């Protein structure tokens, strides 16, 4: 039994070390000439990705905390927030981050929303799995421009 506890502790420490960059979010505002949706110009792009590490593909070891209003209003600040024995790498968590980013930009219109879940990266003879959830979109102006007739 003592060997199992030591092995689990070693795997947990390894996963925590990997979790240092387990959450990433960014809002990029720019002046763009590119248009989408019949001539609308996006005001910003948004991307967030969160990772969780699981033992044997089912036991959560650690996860990054998605960015929310606690990060400040000057933009997204990446911090090394890690939660042990939890899984915050979910689509719902990413969409909560997106909602807060939309509040910061001042618009709640988006286009080209894409969310991807990936379980393809495993380490240590497939004992530890990294689950990734990535969400990205373009943020449009709050009021659409009237179409030319």
pLDDT tens digit string along 33-80?
A: 777 877 788 888 899 888 888 888 788 888 887 776 554 555 555 555
Range 107-132 burial, b when 16+ CB lie within 10 A, else e: bebbeeeeeeeeeeeeeeeeebbbbb
Between CA 92 and CA 51 the distance in angstroms is 13
pTM for the predicted model, two decimal places: 0.74
| Band of residue 134 on the pLDDT scale cut at 50, 70, 90 | very high
Is residue 146, in this structure, part of any structural domain at all?
no
Is residue 100, in this structure, part of any structural domain at all?
yes
Is residue 131, in this structure, part of any structural domain at all?
yes
Q: How many domains does the chain have?
A: 1
Is residue 27, in this structure, part of any structural domain at all?
yes
User: Measuring CA to CA, which residue among 85, 73, 83 is closest to residue 23?
Assistant: 83
Confidence (pLDDT) at 123: 63
**Residue span of the structural domain in which 112 resides:** 2-140
Is residue 145, in this structure, part of any structural domain at all?
no
Is residue 122, in this structure, part of any structural domain at all?
yes
Is residue 149, in this structure, part of any structural domain at all?
no
pLDDT(148) > 60: no
């Amino acid at each position: 039994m003592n060997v199992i506890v030591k092995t689990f502790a070693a795997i947990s420490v390894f996963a925590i070390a990997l979790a240092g960059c387990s959450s990433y979010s960014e809002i990029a505002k720019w002046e763009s000439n590119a248009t989408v949706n019949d001539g609308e110009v996006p005001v910003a792009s948004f991307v967030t990705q969160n990772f969780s590490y699981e033992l044997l593909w089912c036991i959560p070891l650690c996860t990054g905390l998605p960015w929310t209003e606690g990060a400040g209003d000057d933009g997204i600040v990446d911090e090394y927030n890690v939660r042990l024995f939890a899984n915050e790498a979910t689509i719902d968590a990413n969409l909560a981050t997106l909602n807060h980013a939309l509040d910061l930009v001042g618009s709640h219109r988006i286009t080209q929303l894409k969310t991807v879940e990936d379980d393809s990266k495993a380490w240590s003879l497939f004992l530890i799995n990294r689950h990734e959830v990535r969400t990205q979109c373009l943020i449009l102006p709050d009021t659409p421009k009237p179409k030319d007739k």
